[in-house]
Structures are given as structure tokens and as C-alpha cells.
Structure 1
Amino acid sequence: MADLKFQLIEIKKNDYNFTGYDLNKLISEMLKDIGSTDSELRDELIYITFGQMIVANNILNKDQIKQLLDICVDDQHLFYRLGENETDSVFVRSFSVLILPFILNVDQRDPFLSESEIKYVRKRLFTYVREEKDVRGYVDGKGWAHSMAHAADALGEIANHPYIKEDDLIELLEVINAKVLFPNSIYTHNEDERMALAAFNTIDRGLLNEQQILNWINNIKIQLDTQKKLVSDLNSLYLKLNVRNFLYNLYFRLRYNNVGLTLQKEIEKLLDSIRDF
């Protein structure tokens, strides 16, 4: 770990000049420590270096990016000890999913992934989001876990991909619902805004008709009413606040971008129906 950290600090100092480095070896070492509890190594060095390699400087060739994608969504990364809560395994999962937006963004600008490859990533991503239990934001002494914010970034990017069609987008909204309707705690680290952006990207694709989107919004209200009856008063409050904060963020993003006027009115009604005062 110390050797990798030293190398990445030097690469950063040299403005991400990778001359003289064995890229495949460097990538392998970065992936081994992608979930390090050293926040500087994980967040400021490994993550940023991957971004420079994939997006900013076009250092990696398409085969290298494909291989990186396969690893990020495999059982030892995106699905690593999936289902655990409040353990360090979340850092592996949450920083593996955070590499996906880089790769999906590059593929949209210069396509190299097949439809079947994108659909596989979509399947893995949707399953991961549904099954992730550890939704901590900032962890004292270890930095950002932020699994739901990172997952939302990936959902927002895949929503824009040309291979993602109507049925995929309907399922994507359902996946978002599964995490917005969360009764165990309140999202306090901007997760609601990033999930709202993923929902906005899904709506803004223009593939779903107005009724499909209105059905989705109405279903949030139905699920909220149902779930509130199954949990304690405190958890019911958490549930309501998570839904309300998500809807506020989605509403103002729609309004700012002048998208979905009918949907905006429906969200206004829903927000009014769940307010306390």
C-alpha cells in the first residue's frame, strides 16, 4: 500500500504523466486497494487517477477499459460481501461502482462496448443498488463510503446510454424507489439530490411517456403509505423525510430545466399530501 501511495502521489505531482509506468501492473495494484480505509489513497489518489486514465487523458486503450469494467462489476468488487452493514467492505463496493460513470461516459462519446455488455452492466448495477444495505455517507476516520450517492451517479450515467431502452428505464425508476423509500435512517450526505439527478436523466431521455412517469410518481405515494404502517413512528418519519427530500430535489431540477410540467404539478400534490404543517 505504501509503495502504491508513493507512486500515485508522484504521478499526481507530475500532472498524471504515466511515462515509465507499467499501466497494467499499476491498475492491478489500484484495484487491490480500491476499498482501502485510507481515505487519501482510496478517494484522492486511486479514484482520481482512474478518472485521469479513463476520461481526462485517454491513457487506457479500449481493451484495458473493458477489462477494468469486468473487474469492477465482478463478485470481488461490486458484489464484495454484499449484504453486510457497517463494515469496511462497503468501501470496495462503493468505489468500484464509482468507476462505472467514467467508463460509461467514454463509451457514449466513442462507443466500444456492445449492447450485451451494457445490458450486463445494467443488470449487475440494478441488483447491487437493490441489495446494498450499508448506506453510510461519511465514516469517521475512514472518509466517504457514500454507496448510494456513488450508485446514483452510475444510474444517472447508464440512464443516458443509447442501449438503455424503455423497459430498462422503467426498471431504473423502480430501483431508485427501492432506495428512496428507506426507513432505517435519513440520507444526510446529498444522496437524495444525486438520486434525483438519476431520476431526472431517466425522465429527460424522452423514451417514457407522461402516463408511465405519472404512474411511477403515484406508486411512490402508494408504497410510502403502505410502508409507513409497517415500521415504528421514528422509522416512518425517516421514510417520509427521505421521500420528501428526494421529491423536492427532483421537482426543482425539473422546474429549472422546464421539463415535465404535468409531472411537476403531480409532485406538488404529492408533497402537499405528505407535509406535516
Structure 2
Amino acid sequence: MDLKLILEQLDVNDRQVDLDHLINNMLQQIGSTDPVLRDDLIYSTFSKLVMMDFLNKEQLTHLLNVCLDQEHLFYQIGERETDSVFTRSFSVLVVALVVEKDRSSRFLKKEQIEASIEGIIRYLQAEQDTRGFVALKGWAHSIAHGADALAELIRHPFFDREKTVECLDAIQECLFKEGTYVDDEDERLLFAIEALLEKGMKEERLSNWVTSLSDNLESLFEVERYSVAFFHKKGNVLSFLKSCYFRLLIRDTCSDARSVIEDVVEKWTRKIYLGD
């Protein structure tokens, strides 16, 4: 029977449903270009199965391992503007689901969480297809989905704060990728920053990282000057920093870091538009 029809008619409470077979069938089609099948049915079914306790420890672990493998999270990694992004992007969303579930149920080993963190950081660094919404095919949103998974992993009790720098580096690399973010990718990346702060990241580290973003923009400007590519990256970085500023302001925290952001935004406004 067609998977779409199966999922449309699925009653997860039916004891006759072979969940192992269903999981593997959905994993095989997780990157479908049919947005109804991929997003509304496959992902939504995974969400229900994971979060509402329909899967046992072995099934959840299997789901995580498959989604992190070379045929899912890293499927044809490096491609741009191809349909392979849907497999990667929706695999990373399922990783986020399983990790979120483990924060309350604790069925994964520490080594599995550590491997997941390494995988998601490597994925965010390697992903080159940064499209948000794709006409006729729906959401790709690879960076936003990767950011969701990263934030969940940072929140996990097994997260090692020694990984903070690697997380910041991955976020920075996302901000300097080709393409313009127009679908709230900056907001999703900020969830990871907030999670790091909640895990005890020092304000000084955040301030220094903001300064490094500006320094990298400076180096890029020296090479690319007033090119379209430079303006896209500058737009991504400054949009992210402005969102970060107001998120910190709303939380009434990190006043020194907010001052650094103010200085960076002012610097680039003057440099580009006022000729300073």
C-alpha cells in the first residue's frame, strides 16, 4: 500500500500495526519531495510515535542511529539546489525529536549523545544548501532544523561545556554560508545561543564571539568589497546580531554583550553607508 495512504489511515493505537516496518518505510522516504508526505505525514507521525511513548528504547535508538548515518544526515552532503537536502534536513529534525525525548526518559548512553553532538556540529559545518522554503516542494530549512537539533543537544544533561567553542564555531560558519536567510534561520540559531547561556556560558565568551563575527566580516570585506556575496553575508550576520540583541534585552541579561553588539552594528552602518 502507498505510504501516504497508510499514514493518512494510521491508527497508532492499533496493536496490529508493525511499527518496525513502518519506521523503516518512513525512513526510506523521509526526503520525499512531496511536502504533504514528508512534512505533514512522515515527520508528524515520527513526532507522535517518539513523544507519545509508542516506541521502545531499541526502536528509538535505531531511529537516532539511522538518521545520523551517511544515507540520511550526510546524504549527498555538499550539494546545492538539489532534492537531497530534504533527506538531510528532515533526518536532523528527527534527531532533535529523539534527543528531546531522551532529556525526560533517559534511554540513550552518554557516548550516543556525544556522537550526536559531533554529528550535528559536523553537519552544520558541511551543509551547503541553505534554502528555506522551496516552491512546490515545501520546507527544506536545513540550517533552521540543524539549529533545532543543536539546541536540543546543548540542553541535554550529557552536554559537555567543553564543546561550547565548537558549537559557536558551527553557528558562525552557518552565518557565513552562501545565500541569504529569509525564513527566520537567525531566530532558530539563537535558540542554541540561549541554550549555551543556560548551560553556563560566560558573557565574556559571548562578547568575544560577537567581536570575532565582526572581525571575520572585516576580513571578508577586504577580499570581496562591495560585492553581492559580501552584502548577503553581512546581512545574515547583522540580522542575527540584531535578533540576539533584542533576545538578550527581553531576557534582561548580558548587558556587556549587548553593548558589544551595539558597537558592531554601528561600526558596519558607518563603514558601509557613511564611509567611515
Shorter-chain TM-score: what band? over 0.9
Partner Cα separation in structure 2 for residue 96 and residue 81 of structure 1? 13
Work out the CA distance in 2 between the residues paired with 1:5 and 1:18: 18
Q: CA deviation at 1:231?
A: 2.5
C-alpha distance in 2, partners of 1:228/1:98? 34
Question: Which AA in structure 1 matches 2:5?
Answer: F
How many Å separate the matches in 1 of 2:113 and 2:165? 16
Does 2:202 correspond to 1:203? no
Q: Identify the residue that residue 153 of structure 1 maps to in structure 2.
A: 148
Structure 1 partner of 2:49: 53
TM score, norm. by length of structure 1? 0.93
Cα distance, 1:259 vs structure 2:
2.3
From 78, 82, 86, give the equivalent of 1:87: 82
Letter in 2 for 1:192: D
> What is the letter of the counterpart of residue 25 of structure 1?
H
Query: Identity of counterpart residues, as a percentage?
Result: 37
Q: Does 1:231 align with 2:215?
A: no
- Aligned equivalents of 2:260 and 2:160: distance in 1? 24
Q: Which residue of 2 aligns with 1:267?
A: 261
**How big is the shift at 1:39?**
0.5
Q: Is the 8 A contact 2:161 2:199 kept in 1?
A: no
Q: Over the residues paired in the alignment, what is the CA RMSD in angstroms? A: 1.4
Preserved CA contact (<8 Å) 2:164 2:196: yes
Determine if contact 1:38/1:142 at 8 Å carries over to the other structure: yes
Q: Is the 8 A contact 1:228 1:239 kept in 2?
A: no
Q: Is the 8 A contact 2:49 2:55 kept in 1?
A: yes
Cα deviation, residue 19, structure 1? 3.2
* SS across alignment from 2:54: coil
- Deviation of 1:65 (Å): 0.3
**Counterpart pick for 1:17 among 13, 18, 32:** 13
Secondary structure of 1:134's match? coil
TM-score by length of 2: 0.94
Greater Cα shift, 140-149 or 252-261: 252-261
Q: Deviations over 1:223-262 (max 9, x none)?
A: 1111222236111111110001111111111111122121
Q: Unaligned regions of 5+ residues in structure 2, if any?
A: none
Unaligned runs of 5+ in 1: none
What residue is the counterpart of 1:3 in the other structure?
2
1:44 aligns with 2:44: no
**In 2, Cα distance between equivalents of 1:274 and 1:138:** 29
Report the Cα distance in structure 2 between the residues aligned to 1:179 and 1:18, rounded to whole angstroms.
43
Provide the rounded CA distance (Å) in 1 between the counterparts of 2:183 and 2:7. 28
Is the 8 Å Cα contact of residues 57 and 107 (structure 2) preserved in structure 1? yes
AA in 2 matched with 1:35: G
> Which of residues 22, 40, 44 is equivalent to 1:26?
22
Q: Supply the distance in 2 between the matched residues of 1:144 and 1:110 (Cα, whole angstroms).
A: 30
Partners of 2:237 and 2:135 in 1: how far apart? 26
Distance 1:58 1:117 in 2: 20
1:121-132 correspondence runs (5 A): 121-132=116-127
Which of 242, 247, 264 is the equivalent residue of 1:248? 242
For 2:246 and 2:95, the matched residues in 1 are separated by: 27
How many residue pairs align between the two structures? 270
C-alpha distance after superposition, 1:120-176 (max 9, x if no partner): 011111111101111111111111111111111111111111211222122101100
Q: In terms of mean alpha carbon deviation, does 36-45 or 18-27 score higher?
A: 18-27
**How far apart are the structure 1 equivalents of 2:246 and 2:14?**
42
Partner of 1:75: 70
Q: Distance in 1 between matches of 2:185 and 2:230?
A: 19
Tell me the alpha carbon deviations over residues 68-107 of structure 1, each in whole angstroms, 9 at most, x when there is no partner. 0000000000010101111111100000001111111111
